[in-house]
Amino acid sequence: MRDYVQLRIDLMRLPSAEQHLGDTVARSNAIQETLWQQTIAVTAKDNAMVPTGLFLQSLNEMIDDQEKRLAAVGNRLPTIVVMALYGVAIIGIGFAGYASGIESRRMRLPVYVAAILVAAMVLLIQDIDRPGAGLIKASQQSMVNAAAGLAAFAE
């Protein structure tokens, strides 16, 4: 369990976590398989033990959580959505610039502010779409807490 938790923490600390994702998933699957085999062996001896049932439930949740994390990594904005986002931003800013240009009294500040706001929103959406990279990072505090809890137990 310690290896599994540390593996998950190390993955998110890497500068390019997506490049190491395949290796990490393979190692995670191997650890899960080992834990599952150990659970089967203990259950075969005495399947009425409450701790075994609790461990089995926790192991199932761990496997499900890995699948949720992998789904979150794979669920990205489609390229067409990003292209449409940029297209709408460019057209909107273009119309704002055009409207500003045909007026007799030119005030460029609102156009510049609108351009900066639109660009900031586009970049924010892209940053949120990639939680492991960029300025906004997904918190790994729960995994760090789990690692600290596991480290407190004697080997």
| Domain parsing of the chain, residue ranges | 2-76+138-152, 79-129
Q: What is the pLDDT of residue 70?
A: 78
Chain mean pLDDT for the chain: 79
Give the per-residue pLDDT at 17. Answer: 56
Token pair 């137990």: residue:
153
132, 138 contact by CB (below 8 A): yes
Q: Which of 70, 37, 71, 29 is nearest to 56 (CA)?
A: 37
Q: What are the tokens at 16?
A: 């390019």
Question: Tens of pLDDT along 94-143?
Answer: 888 887 777 777 777 877 888 888 888 988 888 888 766 677 777 777 87
